[in-house]
Amino acid sequence: MHCRNKRRKLSLALTLMATAWLATGSVQAKEVTDADIVNDAKTPGDVVSAGIGTQGQRFSPLKQINASTVKDLVPVWSMSFGGEKQRGQESQPLVHDGKMFVTASYSRLFAIDTKTGKKLWKYEQRLPDGIMPCCDVVNRGAALYANLVIFGTLDAQLVALDQDTGKVVWKTKVDEYSAGYSISAAPMIVKGMVISGVSGGEFGVIGRLEARDAKTGKLIWIRPTVEGHMGYKFDKDGNKVENGVSGTTNASWPGDLWKTGGASTWNNATYDPETNLIFVGTGNPAPWNSHLRPGDNLYSSSTVAINPDTGKIVWHYQNTPHDGWDFDGVNEFVSFDYKDPKTGKVVKAGGKADRNGFFFVNDRTNGKLLNAFPFVKEITWAKGIDLKTGRPIYNDDNRPGDPSASADGKKGSVVFSAPSFLGGKNQMPMAYSPQTGLFYVPANEWGMDIWNEPVAYKKGAAYLGAGFTIKALHDDYIGALRAVDPVTGKIVWENKNYAPLWGGVLSTGGGLVFYGTPEGFLKAVDAKSGKDLWQFQVGTGIVAPPITWEQDGEQYVAVAAGWGGAVPLWGGDVAKRVNFLEQGGSVWVFKLHKG
C-alpha cells in the first residue's frame, strides 16, 4: 500500500511537470543578471560580457588547458556563417546556458548549441542601401541581459532578441545612417542599462555614449563626447531633461567645428564596479586636417570616465591632444591593480595601449597619469609623454602641413609618420594576467606618408581633409604580440608576425596566451616566455578575440574567423602585401582530446 502511494505521488509530480512544460512550450533559459555580468571573470562556466568581465582583462582562471596539455587541443566543431556575406569577422562570442551567441559581418547574429555546433537560430538585419561603415562591415559582439541578446547594426540601430527563439523583443533607431552613423562595438550592460556608442568619425558625426533600459530599450541618458554639446536625461515618459554641457563651448574647438567634431565611440567600453565608472575611448576629431581646428579638441582621442548613475563625465585624459594623424583613442581601458614603484602603494589603475604608439597607465579614480611609455619601436610624432603634465612632447615638424600655406593651396607638405593611422594597436583587444602582471598587446610596426587637403563638411560625405599611404617598416614582420610590464615600461618578450595582427588576445590561469593571426593560425604561447606551444590553421584570417569557458567538466576555447577589417580597405602598400590572404566566415571551438 505504501509503495502504491509513492508511485501515485511520483506519477502526479511527473504529470504536473509535463503540464508546466507544455504550458510554457519549452524550458526557460536561466536569465542573465547584473551579478552574473559583474562576476563574469570569476565564473568560468560562461562568458556573458565582452572582455570576459566588465573590467576588460580578458583573463580566465581556467587551467585544464595549460603548457603541458595544450598539445592535445583539437577542434570539436566549426560552424560557417554562410552565404556570400563574409568580410571581416571581429566578434567576441558569448556563452550562456548551453548556447553561444556570436555576431557576424553585415549585422547578423547566430545562436549555436555549444556542444554540437548546431545552429539554433539566426537573425539578419535588413540593411538599407547607402550604409556608410568606415572600416568594413564588421560587428564586435553582443550583450546578454535577462533573456535577451542585444547588438548594434550598421544602419545605427540597437536590436534586442529573445535568447531562445531569436524573435525581436525591442528595436530602436540610434541615429541616421545617411549622416554617417553606424554601430560596430559590442554593447555593455551596467546596472540593468545597455550602454552603447556610435561609429562614424570619418563623416563628422557627434560621438556619444547612451544608456537605455536593457529590457525595454527606453533612453535613460545621453552623454556627448565632443565639447560643447548638451547631455540629456530622460524621464519615465521619455521627455528630454538637460543634463549639462560636455565641457565648455568653444574652449577647445574654434568656431562651429565642434558641431561636426567626430570623437566617435566606436569600440567596446569597459566598466569598473569598484569605482562605479564606465570608461570609453573616443575617436579622431573631424576633420583629420588639424590646421582647421586649433586647440586640444576635447574630448576626442581620449579616455572618458562616466558615472553610469548620472551620465556625467567624472574625468578625462586626452591621449593625443589636437590629433593630426587619426590616432583615435578608442582603445580599451583595462582596470588592474598597479603597484607604484616610488611609494610601494597599490593604486586602482587602468592600462591603455593607444593607437598613437604609447602605453598609458592612469589612476582610474581620477585619471591622473601614472606611467606612459612606447610599446612600438618607432614613434615619430612625439618624443615622449611628459609624466608631470601628462601631455605629449611633440615633434612639430612631423605634423602634416597646412594646405593653405602651400603654393596652390591644395596639398600641405607630406610627412612620414609612425605609427600609421591604423595604429600601434587598433580595435583588437589586449589581455592582462593578474598572475604575471603583464599586458599582452597585439602591436603593429608601420608608418605612413600623410598630407592634409582642404575640406568642408557635407552631411553623409567623407570628412577627412587628408591623404595617406601606409607602408611597412620591416620586410620580415609588421605584427608583434608583446608582453608589456606596466610598471617598468619594458617589453618582456615578443612574437613577431609577417602580417599585421588584427585579432584580440586571451590569457588564462593555465599560463597561456591565445591569439590569432591573419595567416589563419590560432596560437597558444607561454605567458611568461612567449614560447610557441600550439597552433591550428582555421583556413582564413583571424581578426577576433578568443574566449574560453568550462562545460561539463571540460575547458573549451572558441574564436570567430574571417579575414577583413580595415587593413585590406585602408592599408595602402600593406594591403597589397597581404592580398594573398583569403576571406571566410565561421566560428571554431576546441577542447582537449581524450586519448
Beta-sheet pairing, 188-190 with 157-162: unpaired
Beta bridge partners of 157: 173
**Which cell goes with 111?**
545562436
Any catalytic annotation for residue 326? yes
Coil, strand, or helix at residue 12? helix
What distance in Å separates the CA atoms of residue 214 and residue 160, rounded to the nearest whole number? 8
Secondary structure percentages of the chain, helix, strand, coil, to 5: 10, 35, 50
Q: Which of 46, 326, 354, 363 is catalytic?
A: 326
**How far out from the chain centre does Cα 472 lie?**
24
CA nearest neighbour of 578 among 422, 433, 438, 454: 422
CA nearest neighbour of 151 among 180, 174, 119: 174
Coil, strand, or helix at residue 320? coil
**Which cell goes with 165?**
527563439
What distance in Å separates the CA atoms of residue 445 and residue 478, rounded to the nearest whole number? 5
CA nearest neighbour of 61 among 570, 509, 375: 509
CA nearest neighbour of 332 among 384, 387, 274, 269: 269
500 DSSP 8-state letter: P
Cα dihedral 65→436→534→551 (10° resolution): 20
What distance in Å separates the CA atoms of residue 103 and residue 470, rounded to the nearest whole number? 29
Beta bridge partners of 549: 556
* CA–CA–CA angle 470, 484, 272 (5° rounding): 100
Q: Which residues are catalytic?
A: 326
